[in-house]
Amino acid sequence: MFLRPDRTDFQVIAFYLGKVMFGLGLMMLLPAIIAMLVGEWNALTALVIGGSIGVIGGRLSEIKFRTRRPLSWSHGMVTVALSWLLGPVLLAVPFFLSGHFSDFLDAYFDAMSGLTTSGLSVLQDLDHLPRSMNLFRHLTHFAGGQGIVIVVLTLFAGGGAQVGTLYVGEGRDERIMPNIVRTARFIYTVALVYLLAGTFSLWLAGVVAGLQPGSSLFHAVNLFMAGFDTGGFAPQSTSIAYYHSATVELVLVVLMFAGTLSFALHYQLWRGDRRELFRNIETRTLTLTLTAMTLLAFVGLGRSGTFTDAVPLFRKGFFTVVSAHTGTGFGVNAPALFVTDWGILAPAAVVGAMALGGMASSTAGGIKAIRVGLAWKGLIKDVRRVLLPESALVVSTYHSTRRRILDDATAKAAMTLLLLYVLTYLGGAMVGMFYGTWDITETMFESVSATANVGLSVGITDASMPMVLQLTYITQMWLGRLEFMAVFALIGYVVAIVRGRT
């Protein structure tokens, strides 16, 4: 039987939630300034209203619920789960007021998709969205990719040991620096360095592709945030196909790979340890699975006759698989083409790439390479146990920043989360099939894209989709971003409130 939370427990959670809302409200300041400078008054009004709700509501919450009580493990997990549920509510306010969504649920869908770096969208008439609002939707990727809770709290709550549980709750597996504050600062240092280099490269590529310098800069900033944070939103409705540029695609491939690498690996590379790239279990696993999925896609595209020349086959196929495997969701063809022109094998490879995902403690989603690698090693270890004499000592090791011994608990945890992802993929596909409009291949594609926070679509996700299916994808994006544990903690908390003992 759980202990029922008391008033002080709710006070701690509300206090830290207020800080998160305050930080998200402040985030709207930048696009609001842009709106004012370019004279987008309707967008300015929407952003000011949303930002004011966040800043004022957050401050009032902090004042009313101020407490010095330490943040426990359960408090932290529940705060994370609620922050990723309530944060999109706040971010949906400017979206809804923009007039590009039919109702608030649609706006909430895009806010959740942006913050979880999923990239699925039901926004209407993207090509005529105000530039400041377009920047705002890409900023949700930038905020969510690094982790909204941990960054907001280290900036406005002093950080330290108290917020360690929040780091884990947001799907981060290990600390990079000795404390959370320094870890968060390093993560944003990496992001800012890539921001400068990536934006400049994309700006130059855009100019070469024929964009005006000012327009190219706008596209470059947005594409960087969607690429490095593996989000998938794009300034235009045709996504990356809009640019018709191999150079833009090449720069984005580099940024997508950078975004899918763990920040721990970035730290090792930052220190000059290049060997970690070749020894790390995740980079090895990622290399193998990416190669396998790419070759499978090439074979499928070749058999379907979609591309008759090698160059477009490589460009379209490789870019799409990288976009899927890194969890980015940039598209270089219309969604319907996955169903009508790509055959069966190539879309299956894309689904497999999306399901596997990138590295742990990165901006990518999916099962993650570390779990795939550990599950495989655990399986090999069990096979060896069966084949070897009972007296034999079976030891399996792997390298992740240092050499580690694979114990049974670690292998079991990897298998458990892998199974949870697979069940969620299947569950979403079953909900989609219930409507009878789409077959299992289409609904599985969309379900995996939502849960793995990718954003590629076969056309199911749009403004006319059924509400139940929309709520299903929202839940999947939330579960996938938090990797289940914080959500389970919230469910346990609710059970304790209802049935717990005092």
d(CA 150, CA 19) in angstroms, rounded, equals: 11
Q: Is residue 490 part of a domain?
A: yes
Q: What is the pTM of this model?
A: 0.93
Predicted confidence (pLDDT) at residue 467 exceeds the cutoff of 80:
yes
Nearest residue to 239 (alpha-carbon basis) of 313, 334, 315, 115: 334
Q: Is residue 354 part of a domain?
A: no
Torsional sign, CA 299, 302, 304, 307: positive
Predicted confidence (pLDDT) at residue 257 exceeds the cutoff of 60:
yes
The whole domain housing 89 covers: 1-172+471-502
Least confident of 142-151, 294-303, 358-367, 452-461: 142-151
CA 106 to chain centre: 19
Of residues 329 and 336, more confidently modeled: 329
Q: What is the pLDDT of residue 399?
A: 87
Average pLDDT on 259-270 reads 88
Q: Is residue 53 part of a domain?
A: yes
Q: Is residue 12 part of a domain?
A: yes
Nearest residue to 429 (alpha-carbon basis) of 476, 375, 386: 476
The separation between the first and the last C-alpha atoms of the chain, rounded to the nearest angstrom, is 10
What b/e string do you get for 19-28 counting C-beta neighbours within 10 Å, with b at 16 or more? bbbbbbbbbb
Tokens at residue 384, please? 């060896």
Q: Is residue 286 part of a domain?
A: no
DSSP 136: H
Q: Is residue 374 part of a domain?
A: no
pLDDT tens-digit map of 382-414: 898 888 887 788 888 888 888 899 888 888 989
Arithmetic mean of pLDDT over the chain: 89
Predicted confidence (pLDDT) at residue 114 exceeds the cutoff of 90:
yes
Task: Give me the half-sphere count of Cα atoms (radius 13 Å) on the Cβ side of residue 454.
Answer: 35
Tokens at residue 335, please? 């969604």
Residue 238: band (very low, low, confident or very high) from pLDDT cuts 50, 70, 90: very high
Q: What is the pLDDT of residue 356?
A: 96
Q: Is residue 460 part of a domain?
A: no
Residue 312: band (very low, low, confident or very high) from pLDDT cuts 50, 70, 90: confident
Q: How many domains does the chain have?
A: 1
pLDDT tens-digit map of 64-103: 998 877 777 788 888 889 999 999 999 999 999 999 999 9
Q: Is residue 337 part of a domain?
A: no
- Size of the chain, expressed as the number of residues it contains: 502
Q: What is the pLDDT of residue 103?
A: 95
pLDDT tens-digit map of 40-51: 999 999 999 999
d(CA 46, CA 48) in angstroms, rounded, equals: 6
Predicted confidence (pLDDT) at residue 436 exceeds the cutoff of 70:
yes
